[in-house]
Chains A and B, each alone.
Chain A
């Protein structure tokens, strides 16, 4: 008994929109980066589900590349957070308004 592909799409949509909500409503910049990770994982679930559905390995290879980009994004993002915390001694995003119009 196989699972229909739409179930995976619904699960991925739930996780993705949870990530979007997190990016929009959290004030802690670390929680915002964690929500970005949620969104990346939602796309990974979609890729693997379609790779299984179409019996094509291209989806799994793209998950591999998405993982690479996620690791790079985390390294640079956390470095930026450390630099910000060093200059402003806070990680609340409402305090960072230097680049706001």
Chain B
């Protein structure tokens, strides 16, 4: 049963991520990215990360993608003309890397599955039934300083976005 769910989610994620790159209209690209975000959230649920699934839908599908669609509508770009002339370089970079990773994974898969007990660290914060509670406790004890730094990152990004995108006051007259 879990293999069925994984197959469905993985297939949809792969197909929609290829569609994001392949479709020419940026609105369609953004919408297929939306479908991909929902399926990634479903994959998170099968991995018992319910809090992250909710956050994925709220932040990615709710905030980030709306921002993208907003900018696409503002700039009024309907059609992207052609692909970049760099596609040969892209193929040379990506295809050997992809084959290499597949080979590495297929070679190391058996070792990874049988040797998982050696990889298994002692579960000091084991994933319990109450996922959100456990994440909150970890976030506010072990990762308290990175949490504060993340808030600083958000503040800097907000101020930077406003400063970059705003029109200068005297620009209309000049």
Contact = CB atoms under 8 A, between A and B. Distances in A.
A30 B127 CA distance: 38
The B contact surface, by secondary structure, is helix
Contacts of A1: 1-3
Interface of A: 1-7, 9-11, 13-15, 17-22, 24-28, 30-31, 33-35, 37-38, 41, 44-45, 48-49, 51-58, 60-61, 63-65, 67-76, 78-83, 85-86, 91-94
Interface of B: 1-3, 6, 10, 13-14, 17-18, 20-21, 26, 29-30, 33, 36-37, 40, 43-44, 47-49, 51-52, 55-56, 59-60, 63-64, 67-68, 71-72, 74-75, 77, 80-87, 89-90, 93-94, 97-98, 101-102, 105-106, 108-109, 112-113, 116, 119-121, 123-127, 134-135, 138-139, 142-143, 146, 150, 153-154, 156-158, 160-162, 164-165, 167
Contacts of B153: 68-69, 72
Contacts of A54: 119-121, 123
Contacts, number: 240
A71 to B, nearest CB: 6
Contact of B71 (A9, A14, A81): A81
8 contacts: A17-B101, A25-B87, A34-B29, A34-B33, A37-B60, A49-B47, A52-B48, A61-B143
